[in-house]
Structure 1
Amino acid sequence: MKHLAALNKYFIQNKWRLILGLLFTAISIVFSVFQPIMVRQIFDLLSHNLDEYRLLENTPLSGIFKGSFSQILAFYGVSILIFALLSGFFLFLQRQTLIVMSRHIEYGLKNEIYQHYQRLDLNFFKMHRTGDLMSRITEDVSRVRMYVGPAIMYASRTLFLIVIIIYLMIDVNPLLTLYTLSPLPFLAITIYYVNRIIHKKSERIQAQLSGITSIAQESYSGIRVIKSYVQEEASTKHFEEASEAYKQSSISLAKTDALFQPAMALMIGLSVILTIFIGGLQVIAGNITVGNLAEFVIYVNMLMFPFFSIGMVASMIQRAAASQQRINEFLQIKPDITDTAGAKPVAINGEVRLDAVTFTYPHTGITAIKDFNLHIKPGEKIAVIGRTGSGKSTLAQLLIRMYDPQQGKILMGGADIRQIPLENLRSQISYVPQDVFLFSDTVANNIRFGDPVADLAKVQQAARQASVEKDILGFNEGFETAIGERGVTLSGGQKQRISIARALIKNPQLLIFDDCLSAVDARTEKEIIGNLYAYLKDKTAIIITHRIFALFEFDKIIVMDEGRIAEAGTHEELLSLNGYYAELYARQQSGDEEPLTE
C-alpha cells in the first residue's frame, strides 16, 4: 500500500464523501442483517406453535389461531420487505457518495499529472515517449480510480458485513461459528500468494500497454513516412507483435484472477456443509433451535459476496498499486528548470548578454555551446548563421531558458535569467521554433495562442505582417478554418508564417526566429522580411537562419562553429574576412546554396 499512500491527500479533500459513504454502508448492512434474524424468529415461531395448532386443529379456536398466526407472518413478511428496501436505499446512497468521490479523485489526479507534465523540462520529454506519457494519464489513472471507488466501496461493505455477521454468529453459538469459519485461514493464504503474482503481472501489462500506445502514436504521426516508404506491412507486424505480447500477459493475468472464484466457491461450499452438518447435530443436542440453523445458513450465504469480493478487491488494489507506482515515478521527477528562490519579475528591454556560457546536453553528453560570449544591445537585429550542429538552435533554447548552462550566465535587462520567474521571462519573449507546431484548432486560435485575449482585428494584423493573410482568406472559412492535427492541411510555408504571426501578435520586446523561413519561396521571403523590418524597428531580434538576408540590415551577424563564434561583424565586414560567411554568400549568389538547417 506504500505506493497508494500518495492518494491519501485526495481522501482528505473528499473526507465528507468518504465518511458519508462508509456511514451509508454500515446502515445498509444493519438493515440487511435484520432479515436473517426475522427468518430465525419465524422458524422458531413455527416450531413452537406447530404442536399447539395440531391440538386445536379440529376445534373452534383453530380459525382464530390460524388468523392470528397469519397476521404475525404477514407482519414479519412486510418487515423483511421494508428492511430490504431500506438496505437497498442506503446501498444506493453509498454508491452515490463513494463512486462520485472516485470520479472527483480521478479528475484531481489527472489534472495533477497534466500540470506536472507542464512543469517538467525539455530533457524529460526527450527521454520519454509520448505514448508512455498518455498511458499514465489514462489507463493508469483509470485503474487507480477502481481502487479509490469500487475497491473502497466493496472493501468497506465486506469488512462491515463480516464483522457484524461474525459477531451475531458468535452470539448464537461460538462452536458452530468456529466450524463455519474454519476454511477462512486457507482462503487468506491463497489470497496472499495470488496477490503477489497479480502485482508483478499488472506491472508488466501496464508497461506493455504503454509500449503499444507509443507504437500507435508514432505510427499515426508518421503515417506519411510509412506510406511513402511502403512500410505499412512492417508497421502492422510491429504493432501485432506488441499486441500479441500484451494479449498473452493479459490472458496470464486473467488465468491467475480465475483462481480466486473457484477458491472462494470451495471455501463457501465447505462452510455451508459444515454449518448444516454441525448445526444439525447442535439442533439434535438441543443447543440451538431450527431457527438458529436457518439463520446460520443465511449468514453463510450473505458472506458469499464478501468472500468473493475479497479476491476482486485484492485484484483491484494490486493493479491500482502497480499503476500508482508508475504514476509516482513521474510525479516524483523534479524539473531541472524552476523558479529559483528570491526570483523577481524584470522588465526585459531587449538587452541580452551571454558571459562565458557552456552547455552540454545531459541526455547525450554533447557540448553544444562552449565558452560563448555575446552582448546584444536593446533594439539590435542579430543574425546567427552556422552549419548543422554548430549550436544555433541550442542558443535559442538557452535564451528562453528551456535549459540552463552548466557554466557562465545569461543576463536580460541586467538580471540573470535564473533570477527571473519563468512565466515573467517567457511572457516577454516571442520564439518561433524551427519545428513549427500548430494545434488542431482554427487558424485564428492558433495565431491567438500568442495573445489569448486578442480580437479578430489584431489577429488579422499579425497575419498581414507575417504575409499569410491572403492565404488564410483563400480558405473556405477564412480565419475560422480548422487546420487539423499539427496543421496537416497546410503547406510548410503556411505553417511557418502562421507561427510567425503567433509570435508577432504577442508584441514582445525580444523576438527569436529559429530558421522560420526555410519553407517559403524567395518572393514570399522578401515580403516577410520587408514586413518584419518595419515591425522590428524598436525591438531586439535574433534571427537564426541558413540563408543570408542581404535586404535585411543586421546590426551584427554571428557565424557559429562547434558551439563558438567563428566570425562576427556586419555583412560588409564578414565579406572582407573572406571566410565561411563569404563562402556561403558566394554559394547563395550562384544558386548553389549549401543546406545548413539544424
Structure 2
Amino acid sequence: MKGKELLKDYVTAHIPGYLLAVLLIVVANVVQSALPLVLGRFTDDLQTGVLSYDSVLHFALLLLGIGVSYGVLFGFGQYQVMRLGRRFEFEVRQKLFGKFSTLSEHFFSKQGTGKLLSYVTNDVQSVRESISNGVTQTTNAVVLLLSCIVMMMIGDIPLSLILICISPLVFIPLIVVRIGPQVRERSMHVQESLAGMTESAEEQFGGIRVTKTFGTEKIAENRFGEKVDRIRSTQLFLVRLSSLFQAAIPFLGALSLVLALLVGGTQTLSGNITLGSFVSLTLYMRIIVGPLQQIGNVINMMQRSGASLERVNRLMNEEPDVQDEADARTLDRPEEIRFEHLTFNYPGSREPALKDINLTLSPGKTIGIVGRTGSGKTTLVKLLLRIYEPPRGSLFFGATDIRDLSLESLRSRLAYVPQDGFLFSTTIRDNIAFSDREAPMEKVETGAKRAMIYDNISRFPEGFDTRLGERGVTLSGGQRQRTSLARGLTKKAQVLILDDSMSAVDSVTETGILDNLVRERRSKTTIIISHRISAVKHADEIVVLSEGRIVQSGTHEELLRREGAYAMLHRLQEEGLHHDELE
C-alpha cells in the first residue's frame, strides 16, 4: 500500500468520525462568532440608555452560554480529531513494521537502523500532527472567518466596509505560493538529517564497548556533533522561513484591524454606522487574526508533513527482491536438494560470489562446507533460505524449482543458526522458543541440553527466566552461540543449517554438541559450515569452496588421502592444536 493511499484510505474509513468532529467544531465556531455581535448590541443599548438590570443580566447569561457552549463543543470536537490521529499513528506504525518484514536483505544492507527508525517515529508523528491539527485548525479558521463575515452583515455593518477591512487577506495565497515549496524542501532535508542523527546515535550506543576500550570517546562525540550541527543549520534555515511565514500573516491581520479603526471610525463619526457596529467590527477584525495565524500554521504544517509523507510513500513503494510467485507451491515433505550449475552475483557486483555450483543434498544426510573467508559458504545457504533469489533453474527441492515454493513453507522447514547468534532483549526461554512461543518448558530444556548450554542457564539466579540485555550482552560469546544453537535445535526443522555457529565454543563442548547432533538428527538433513575440520569430519560429505567454486568434495578420510586444500587445512589446524597443547 502506498503512503498517500495509506492516508487516504484511513481518512475514508473514518469519515463518520471526522464528520462528527468537523460538525462539533463548526457549531462551536458559529457560536463563538456571535460574541462580538452580542457585545455590539449591548454597546448600542448602553449608548441609547435602554439598558436595565434585567437586560444586563440577560446579556451576561448570553455571553456565559456562548462561552460554555463553545468550550464544550470545541473540546469534544478536538478530542475526536486527536483520538483518530493517535489511532492513525498506531496503525501506520504497525503497517510500516509489517512492510519492513517483507523487504529483502538487500534493502536493509543499503539502509541504516537509525534511518529506518526515523520512518516509524519522526515521519509518522509529523503526518499524524498534520491530520490532527490540520483538521482542527483548518475547520476552525475557515468556519470562523465565514461566520465572522456573516455575523458582521447581520450586525448591519455595510458590505463595502467589510470588504475594505479584509482586503489584506488576498496576499495570503501569494505568500503561500512563494514560501510554501521552500518550507517543504527544507523539511525533507530536516527529516533526512534527523534520520542520520538517529543512525549515528544507534551506532555509537551499539559500539560503546569498542569506543571505551579504544579510548575514543572524544572522536565519537565529534562524529555525533557533526550530525547535530548539520541538523541545526538545516533547521535554522527552516525556522527563518517559517518565522517569516508566521509573521507575515498576523501582520496582514493587523492591517485589517488598522483599516477597521480608520475606515470604521470615520463611518461611526459620520453616523453611517452605530457605535455598537463599530465595536463589533473591531472585535471581529481582532478575532480574524486568530484564524489567519491558524491558516499559516496549517499551511506550514502541511508542507512539513508532505515531506514526511513523501518519505513514507517511498518506503511503502519498495518492492522486496524476493517474493512468492502467484502460484507458489508448498513444501510438504523432505526433498532432495540440488544445486545445478548455480552461478550467483550479488546485486551491483560484477564478480560472481558463486560459480558453477553442482551439489546434491540427500534427505537425512549431513554435509560439511569448509573454505576460506569470502569463499562463498554463507552465500550458498543464503540462496537456500532465499534471503537472495537464486537464478531460476539452478536450485531445486526434488523436482521443484526453489523459486516456485512459498517462502513461508520453505523457511518453516529450515532452521538457520548464524555465527553472530543474535539474541533478543527478552528472557532466555523466549529466545530459545522463538519459533514456537507456546513450546512447553520440557522442549526448551531439551534444546538447551543438546546445545550444551543447560548447565550455564541453570546457574543463573532466574534460570530460563533471566532477561538478556540488548543483543544478548548478558551472556558471553560462547553462551550466546549455544543459546542461538538451542533455538535452532528446538525448531525441529527438516533442514538445520549451522553457519560457523560454534566458532566461539571450546573443542570439548563442540565435540559434545556434535555428538548430540549425530544422535538426534539421523533422519534429518544437516548443513554445517565451519572453519574447523573438527566440526565437519563426521559429515557424510564435505565440500571445499574456494573463490566461489567447489574445488573438492568427499568424506573426511577421502579428502585426507588427496593432496589439496582440505588436507592442508587439516595439517595447519593439527599443528596449531599441538602447539596450544605444548603451551
Same fold (TM over 0.5): yes
Q: Distance in 2 between matches of 1:3 and 1:43?
A: 54
Q: Distance in 2 between matches of 1:93 and 1:405?
A: 57
Q: Is the 8 A contact 1:385 1:544 kept in 2?
A: yes
Of residues 145, 151, 168, the one that matches 2:151 is 168
Q: Deviations over 1:17-49 (max 9, x none)?
A: 2111111111101111222222222223233x3
SS of 2:543's partner is strand
Amino acid in structure 1 at the alignment position of 2:304: R
Aligned ranges 1:49-448 → 2 under 5 Å: 49-50=48-49, 69-170=52-153, 172-406=157-391, 408-448=393-433
Q: Distance in 2 between matches of 1:241 and 1:586?
A: 51
The answer on 1:586 being equivalent to 2:571 is yes
Task: Tell me the residue number matched to 1:529.
Answer: 514
Q: Deviations over 1:156-211 (max 9, x none)?
A: 11111112222333553111111111111223322332222221221111111111
Deviates more, 1:107-116 or 1:240-249: 240-249
Q: Is the 8 A contact 1:429 1:511 kept in 2?
A: yes
The answer on 1:489 being equivalent to 2:453 is no
TM-aligned CA distance change 1:111 to 1:3, over 3 Å: closer
Q: Is the 8 A contact 2:342 2:357 kept in 1?
A: yes
Q: Is the 8 A contact 2:537 2:556 kept in 1?
A: no
Amino acid in structure 1 at the alignment position of 2:436: D
Q: Is the 8 A contact 1:350 1:510 kept in 2?
A: no
Q: Distance in 1 between matches of 2:351 and 2:112?
A: 21
Task: Tell me the residue number matched to 1:40.
Answer: 40
State the Cα distance separating 1:414 from its structure 2 match.
Answer: 3.3
Amino acid in structure 1 at the alignment position of 2:42: I
TM-aligned CA distance change 1:469 to 1:3, over 3 Å: closer
SS of 1:182's partner is helix
Gaps (5+ residues) in structure 2? none
Q: Distance in 1 between matches of 2:447 and 2:574?
A: 31
SS of 1:408's partner is coil
Q: Deviations over 1:393-433 (max 9, x none)?
A: 00110111101123533222432222221111111111101
Q: Distance in 1 between matches of 2:391 and 2:431?
A: 35
Q: Distance in 2 between matches of 1:451 and 1:364?
A: 38
Q: Percent identity?
A: 36
Q: Is the 8 A contact 1:42 1:291 kept in 2?
A: yes
State the Cα distance separating 1:3 from its structure 2 match.
Answer: 7.5
Task: Tell me the residue number matched to 1:17.
Answer: 17
State the Cα distance separating 1:392 from its structure 2 match.
Answer: 0.3
TM-aligned CA distance change 1:329 to 1:191, over 3 Å: same
Of residues 544, 554, 558, the one that matches 1:569 is 554
SS of 2:369's partner is strand
State the Cα distance separating 1:286 from its structure 2 match.
Answer: 3.8
Q: Is the 8 A contact 1:533 1:552 kept in 2?
A: no
Q: Distance in 2 between matches of 1:593 and 1:324?
A: 63
State the Cα distance separating 1:501 from its structure 2 match.
Answer: 0.5
Q: Distance in 2 between matches of 1:27 and 1:265?
A: 25
TM-aligned CA distance change 1:411 to 1:109, over 3 Å: same
TM-aligned CA distance change 1:340 to 1:5, over 3 Å: closer
State the Cα distance separating 1:593 from its structure 2 match.
Answer: 10
Q: Deviations over 1:193-246 (max 9, x none)?
A: 222222122111111111111111111111222222222111111111221221
Q: Distance in 1 between matches of 2:68 and 2:504?
A: 71
The answer on 1:26 being equivalent to 2:26 is yes
Amino acid in structure 2 at the alignment position of 1:32: Q
State the Cα distance separating 1:4 from its structure 2 match.
Answer: 5.1
Amino acid in structure 2 at the alignment position of 1:119: T
Q: Is the 8 A contact 1:123 1:363 kept in 2?
A: no
State the Cα distance separating 1:353 from its structure 2 match.
Answer: 1.3
CA RMSD in angstroms, aligned pairs only: 1.9
State the Cα distance separating 1:254 from its structure 2 match.
Answer: 1.9
Q: Distance in 2 between matches of 1:466 and 1:360?
A: 35
Q: Is the 8 A contact 1:350 1:509 kept in 2?
A: no
Q: Distance in 1 between matches of 2:304 and 2:88?
A: 17
Q: Is the 8 A contact 2:30 2:143 kept in 1?
A: no
Task: Tell me the residue number matched to 1:61.
Answer: none
Q: Distance in 2 between matches of 1:552 and 1:560?
A: 15
Amino acid in structure 2 at the alignment position of 1:232: E
Q: Is the 8 A contact 2:3 2:310 kept in 1?
A: yes
State the Cα distance separating 1:317 from its structure 2 match.
Answer: 0.9
Q: Is the 8 A contact 2:34 2:151 kept in 1?
A: no
State the Cα distance separating 1:143 from its structure 2 match.
Answer: 1.0
Q: Distance in 2 between matches of 1:231 and 1:356?
A: 49
Deviates more, 1:359-368 or 1:120-129: 359-368
Q: Distance in 2 between matches of 1:304 and 1:382?
A: 78
Q: Distance in 2 between matches of 1:478 and 1:174?
A: 82
State the Cα distance separating 1:580 from its structure 2 match.
Answer: 0.9
TM-aligned CA distance change 1:301 to 1:472, over 3 Å: same
Alignment: residue pair count? 576
Amino acid in structure 1 at the alignment position of 2:292: F
Q: Is the 8 A contact 1:127 1:363 kept in 2?
A: no
Q: Deviations over 1:270-319 (max 9, x none)?
A: 21121122112323444322222121112112211111112211221111
Q: Distance in 2 between matches of 1:267 and 1:463?
A: 73
State the Cα distance separating 1:513 from its structure 2 match.
Answer: 0.7
Q: Is the 8 A contact 1:260 1:308 kept in 2?
A: no
TM-aligned CA distance change 1:454 to 1:212, over 3 Å: same
TM-score for the superposition, normalised by structure 1: 0.93
SS of 1:374's partner is strand
The answer on 1:511 being equivalent to 2:479 is no
Amino acid in structure 1 at the alignment position of 2:59: Y
Q: Distance in 1 between matches of 2:550 and 2:475?
A: 36
SS of 2:533's partner is coil
Q: Distance in 1 between matches of 2:25 and 2:461?
A: 59
Q: Is the 8 A contact 1:98 1:153 kept in 2?
A: yes
TM-aligned CA distance change 1:179 to 1:4, over 3 Å: farther
SS of 1:329's partner is helix
Task: Tell me the residue number matched to 1:57.
Answer: none
TM-aligned CA distance change 1:224 to 1:549, over 3 Å: same
Q: Distance in 2 between matches of 1:81 and 1:93?
A: 18
Q: Distance in 2 between matches of 1:422 and 1:356?
A: 23
Amino acid in structure 1 at the alignment position of 2:65: I
TM-score for the superposition, normalised by structure 2: 0.95
TM-aligned CA distance change 1:198 to 1:232, over 3 Å: same
State the Cα distance separating 1:550 from its structure 2 match.
Answer: 7.2
State the Cα distance separating 1:533 from its structure 2 match.
Answer: 0.9
Q: Is the 8 A contact 2:37 2:152 kept in 1?
A: no
Q: Distance in 2 between matches of 1:269 and 1:3?
A: 39
Deviates more, 1:392-401 or 1:15-24: 15-24
State the Cα distance separating 1:489 from its structure 2 match.
Answer: 1.7
Q: Is the 8 A contact 1:268 1:300 kept in 2?
A: yes
Amino acid in structure 2 at the alignment position of 1:85: V
Task: Tell me the residue number matched to 1:63.
Answer: none
SS of 2:528's partner is strand
TM-aligned CA distance change 1:189 to 1:4, over 3 Å: farther
Q: Distance in 2 between matches of 1:111 and 1:3?
A: 13
Amino acid in structure 1 at the alignment position of 2:318: I
State the Cα distance separating 1:251 from its structure 2 match.
Answer: 2.3
Q: Distance in 2 between matches of 1:251 and 1:218?
A: 26
